[in-house]
Structure 1
Amino acid sequence: MIKHYFKQFELFTDEELVHIESLFVKQIINKDDFFIKEGEMCKHIAFIESGILRSFYITDDGKDTTYCFRFPNETAASYSSFITGKGSPENIQAVSNAVVYLIKRETIEQLTNTQPKWVLFLKIVAEQEYLELEKRFFQLQRESATNRYQYLLNHQAHYIQDIPLQYLASYLGITQRHLSRIRKAINF
């Protein structure tokens, strides 16, 4: 799976793909366990083989706000912490049991210092992350909760049932009650 992920960028040779895969270490994250907690420094990027991770923060009044889900064949990290070397402003937690493959921050730094392809790879990934963030911003600003939920159904339908209702509602920016009404209307 890791080789397939990297192969899509059309930057690396087959030999390099085998080497890249060897740099990752498998880890199991049990449901409700954390990949990273707020305040910790992000020292790894995770490639998700199975399971779902959610990114969230706790507001000053104690409200748990989910703003991102990561699914299989995607990467997860507290990117601001990873880039700056400072504590994470977010929590990343397993919504379901997850199998991830980790690569160390130091390993990526070594690769970018010695292999120009890695600089280009990280540029492409950063651009993709920006585009995803922009899409999410516009979804929240321009689209109804029903349309946002429908988007999730169209793109990640087989995972939706694994996400607890309160996390899904928080991600959509609505109450659980409103989400129940949307689900009922869509299913009929």
Structure 2
Amino acid sequence: MLRAYLQSFQLLTDDEITSFENLLTYKQLKKDDYFIEAGQVCKEVAFITSGFFRSYYYSSKEEEVTYCFTFSNSFITAYSSFLTQESTSENIQALTDIEMYAISRDDMLHLEASSSNWLKLFKLMAEREYVKMEKRIFMLQLENAETRYTDLLKNHPEYLQLIPLGYLSSYLGITQRHLSRIRKSITN
């Protein structure tokens, strides 16, 4: 799964992918465990092979705000903390049991120094994440709640079947009651 994912970018040689795989550590998390919690410094990136996470932070009113879900066949990290080596404000929590392969920041930096292919790959991945984040911000700021829900239904139906409604409503920026009304109006 991971090898196929890396090959899909068509940037790395087989030897480079093998070198990467040799640096990985297999890890498991139980449902509700954390990949990282607010206040910690992120020292690794992981590739999720099974399960999914939610990322959230606390608002100024001390309310949990879910801003991201990350499913299997994806990389996960507290990216700002990983880059700056400063403590993070986010929490990344397992919503299911998780299986993943992690690599340390030091090993990632070593890979970057070993080949320009890694730099190209990391740049491409960062650009994709930026575009995804920008689309999410625009959706939250420009569209109404029903449009955001309809977009989610169209583009990520797995969210609607796997994620508890409280987290889903937080992700959409609405109350759980409002989400229930929207769901009811769409199914009628």
Query: TM tier, shorter chain?
Result: over 0.9
SS state at 1:38 partner: coil
Supply the distance in 1 between the matched residues of 2:144 and 2:160 (Cα, whole angstroms): 18
- Provide, for residues 87-135 of structure 1, a one-character-per-residue CA deviation record: whole Å limited to 9, x for no partner: 1121110112221211111100011112111111111111111101111
Aligned position for 2:154: 154
Offset, 1:174 = 0.2
Structure 2 residue 52 is the aligned partner of structure 1 residue 52: yes
SS state at 2:88 partner: coil
Supply the distance in 2 between the matched residues of 1:149 and 1:60 (Cα, whole angstroms): 25
Structure 2 residue 176 is the aligned partner of structure 1 residue 166: no
What's the TM-score once normalised by structure 2's chain length?
A: 0.93
Contact 2:12 2:118 in 1 (8 A): no
Number of aligned residue pairs: 188
Among all aligned residue pairs of Structure 1 and Structure 2, give the percentage whose two residues are the same amino acid. Answer: 46
The one-letter code matched in structure 2 to 1:92 is I
Aligned position for 2:132: 132
Supply the distance in 2 between the matched residues of 1:114 and 1:2 (Cα, whole angstroms): 20
What's the TM-score once normalised by structure 1's chain length?
A: 0.93
Task: Summarize the Cα distance change of 1:159–1:25 in structure 2 as closer, same or farther, 3 Å threshold.
Answer: farther
Supply the distance in 2 between the matched residues of 1:115 and 1:6 (Cα, whole angstroms): 15
Contact 1:41 1:81 in 2 (8 A): yes
Supply the distance in 1 between the matched residues of 2:47 and 2:115 (Cα, whole angstroms): 21
Task: Summarize the Cα distance change of 1:163–1:77 in structure 2 as closer, same or farther, 3 Å threshold.
Answer: same
Aligned position for 1:183: 183
Offset, 1:65 = 0.5
Aligned position for 2:144: 144
Aligned position for 2:29: 29
Q: CA RMSD in A?
A: 1.4
Supply the distance in 1 between the matched residues of 2:148 and 2:100 (Cα, whole angstroms): 27
- Mind listing any 5+ residue stretches in structure 2 that lack a counterpart? none
Supply the distance in 2 between the matched residues of 1:90 and 1:173 (Cα, whole angstroms): 17
Supply the distance in 2 between the matched residues of 1:187 and 1:46 (Cα, whole angstroms): 38
